Structure 1
Amino acid sequence: MADPVMLIEETNSRNTMYAVVEQDDRVAYFYLYPSELLANKYSPRPCWLRNLQPAPADKDVQAMEEGMAPMLEARYCNHPEGKAPLDPELIRIVWMEEGDGAAVVYDGELMAVIPGWTLYTQERTVGYAADCTGGEDDSLMFPLGTPATNQLHKKVMGAMAFWDDWSDETSQTWSVLQQQYLDAYEAQLGPVEKYYAIDGGQWPPVGMARFEKDDVVYFLTLGVSIRPMPWVDMLYNDKAAGFRRMELGIAISKKDFDEKAMMNLAGMVSGLADRPWKQITWLGEGHTISFNELPAPYESLVLSAALYNGPSFQMPLIYNDPVNLYWASPVTKAERLFAHEQPNGGYVLLEKMINNGINHIIQSREEVVAG
């Protein structure tokens, strides 16, 4: 029996996940593997593609016991006699925009999908294959179906269009989006004072714009929302569109912080811009993130749209999704622990802050919980 041969290997944009297609002389499979740094948090996900030999009548238990990829039972595949081996020249990997799921397109046709949400259900990783016709209740394989019966077709087609657009050197997508963000910010804060590129030369282009108004210095990101965040589709299902895209802001009183302190705070927010995709996580209302560099007595930042107290920013729609503008505000250790010790504690903490007159502008304040 031949050893498996790797036909293609490709990483997502942050090298947090690896997509692999391999086959031996019996069967072809598609796999998604977490990077070494995330291996303790997430598990590999397999997806059968096709049998290359006549399918077994029952589950291929022998192959699994011998540590080999199992063939799919005859009654669940549309080619019980087997198909030709895959040609690596005809394989394309399509990553979902979140970077947590991927698809295999073979000779221009959608062949299989491992959705991103399966990464977060450790007890049951699921794959969808075009050549699969069914499965038992405990099956890990399901039919891919048609665009009319499975929304994954639409998601993959959207991802293909997304990547094709961003790989087109003649595309004006970023210049158009960049101006839309700036228009939204300048409408409330006046002209940009300074502009910083904070993407480190990586895709997507992400910037941070500095403004000043009424003795308050503002730093606002633009471009973070180009990518939808991981996790959100699984957590919010049909409401995910309202939570998967964000930009970050920080507003600092010049009376309470000097230039060095303000730039340090802006740097912390800048560092959060890529966090969801580098760590395969998400950021939202009431989330807290620890920072050793914060000035005493603070030790974390809490993110909130609700803290904002001012004329609303008319954020652009990005790929037809609304964009949440989360303001970062420093909190003490006692405040963070208060938030973490109860369900929805981040919301409770923010309510206390707002009730104590605290808003999005960072200035000297009293602690809102007992230390």
Structure 2
Amino acid sequence: MAQTQILLDETSPYRSRRVIVEYDTHTTAAYLLDPRGQVRVPVWLANHEIAPETSDPSGLYAGRAPLMPAAYTKHPQGRAPLNASRLRVVWFEEGDGVALLDEEGLLAIIPGWAEADRGLPGYSRDAIGRSAYAWALDDVAAQLWPRVVHAEAYWSWRAAPGAWRSVQRSVFNHLRTVGPAGHYWDVSDGHDPLIRVSERPPTPDRPYTVLSTVGMCGQRMPTLDRYMADTSAYARIELALATTAPAHLAARIFRWLGTFPWRAVTWFGPGHSIKWLDNGEDSPLRGNHAAVLLVSDPSVLAGPEWAPPPDLSGLTFHGDPVNWLWVVPITRPEHLFAKEHDAETLIAKLAAEGRSWILG
């Protein structure tokens, strides 16, 4: 058996995906892995010997790349090995997709919507048509190349001095309408994305504290392009929580919730419910809650009529609107109810029961 060489091995900035390019003298293939090392999406890159008429693709999921059948490769006689020193990676801003480039330009793209289990592999420059190993990059290069250009520009911006400060300044200035700032906590784990929490203490016109994340809008959320063509209306968010509990305790919920979309490779939208992650930090806050419900308009729930939820609409970042979603803790039966029915029905049920949108 030919010895496998790793030509490239790189982890995404959010540490939720890893891409490996392997060469075994017969073929070269790329693998998009999850944090557990499981292959999420394999994509064939090149044959290095004469292509067979047919072959078995099952080895792709075990890290054994088969030869691409002759009808689906531009080089049925095989091609020279790739130059590892010229390979480079461009992660999409969302962190769920990746482009591979070499001295000739685009080599392959594994977009966020690729799902090998559903027969959607990545795109390869040497591929022709669609096979279980790869789809032709030529068919989508014009569509996806702007994504690669945007991604390179985004990470260049992120690396520049003052990039994070510009995110912070935009959100802080927007939160001035809520009231004077109080404490400010770092709830990230030392890796991208950087997330902070701003406290807006009670005022004479508002008997509750408002806690808001600062920084979630600095990067688009993953996987949205699996569900919609134009993702801009939902791509950027911040989270808010109204509470009468001690602010430093309530803020701990954002330790896991703030980075969740990029760590779990998912997205948050109005009506989404998320299982509460087990951890000791926010156990005093958790009580009997098992999940959180995200709502865009919490005013449908109970609360002081003279102090309605602050209107946080109007902020944009990098051309996209920023949506504030309010965090409402819910119990396990309520979480199951939301899954069995829908969020709108659950919210109506909570409103009928007099549930407050303010965490006490």
TM-score range, shorter chain: 0.7 to 0.9
TM-score by length of 2: 0.84
Distance in 1, Cα, partners of 2:28 & 2:274: 43
For the residue of structure 1 that corresponds to 2:51, the secondary structure is: coil
260, 274, 298: which one aligns with 1:307: 298
- What does residue 305 of structure 2 align with? none
- What residue is the counterpart of 1:144 in the other structure? 137
Distance 2:73 2:104 in 1: 21
Choose the corresponding residue for 2:168, options 178, 182, 196. 178
**Bigger shift: residues 306-315 or 82-91:** 306-315
2:14–2:193 CA contact under 8 A, matched in 1: no
Seen in structure 2, the aligned counterparts of structure 1 residues 271 and 230 have a Cα distance that, compared at 3 Å, is same
User: In structure 2, do the counterparts of structure 1 residues 314 and 141 end up closer, same or farther at CA, with 3 Å as the change threshold?
Assistant: same
**Equivalence map 1:156-167=2 (5 Å):** 156-167=148-159
Rounded to whole Å, the distance in 1 between the matches of 2:187 and 2:139 is 41
When residues 321 and 12 of structure 1 are mapped into structure 2, their CA distance, relative to the original with a 3 A threshold, is same
Q: Distance in 2 between matches of 1:3 and 1:69?
A: 13
Cα-to-partner distance string for 1:274-303 (whole Å, 9 max, x where unaligned): 112222233222214336543555443321
* Partner in structure 2 of residue 284 of structure 1: 269
**Per-residue displacement from partner, 1:141-166 (whole Å, max 9, x unpaired)?**
2111277x642222222112211221
For the pair 1:245 / 2:236, whether they are aligned, the reply is yes
Percent identical among aligned pairs is: 28
Which residue of 99, 103, 109 corresponds with 1:107? 103
> Is 1:220 the equivalent of 2:215?
no
Alpha-carbon distance in structure 2 between the residues aligned to 1:203 and 1:71: 37
Name the TM-score, length of structure 1 as normaliser. 0.82
Distance, in Å, in 2 between the alignment partners of 1:51 and 1:290 is 46
The correspondence for 1:127, drawn from 118, 122, 125, is 122
Any conservation in 2 of the 1:146–1:153 contact (CA below 8 Å)?
no
Instruction: Give the CA RMSD over aligned residues.
Output: 2.8
| Partner residue in 2 for 1:19 | 19
Describe the shift of the 1:154–1:355 C-alpha distance in structure 2 as closer, same or farther (beyond 3 A).
farther
Pairing partner for 2:350 from 349, 353, 356:
353
What CA deviation, in whole Å up to 9, does each residue of 1:66-85 have, x standing for no partner?
98422223333223332221
Asked if the contact 2:193/2:259 (under 8 Å) is kept, the reply is no
- Shift, 1:197, TM fit: 2.0
How far apart are residue 97 of structure 1 and its match?
2.2
Checking the alignment, whether the CA contact within 8 Å between 1:315 and 1:323 is kept in structure 2 is yes
* Residue 325, structure 1, aligned to residue 324, structure 2: yes
Any gaps of 5 or more consecutive residues in structure 1? Answer: 364-371
Contact 1:46 1:125 in 2 (8 A): no
CA 295–159 in structure 1, closer or farther in 2 if over 3 Å, else same: closer
| 8 Å CA contact retained: 2:187, 2:252 | no
**Distance verdict in 2 for CA 1:130–1:362, change over 3 Å:** same
Alpha-carbon distance, 1:63 to partner: 10
- What residue ranges of structure 2 are gaps of 5+ in the alignment? 278-282, 300-307
Find 2:41's aligned residue among 28, 39, 45: 45
Name the SS of the counterpart of 2:337 in structure 1: helix
2:92 is the counterpart of 1:96: yes
Seen in structure 2, the aligned counterparts of structure 1 residues 34 and 201 have a Cα distance that, compared at 3 Å, is closer
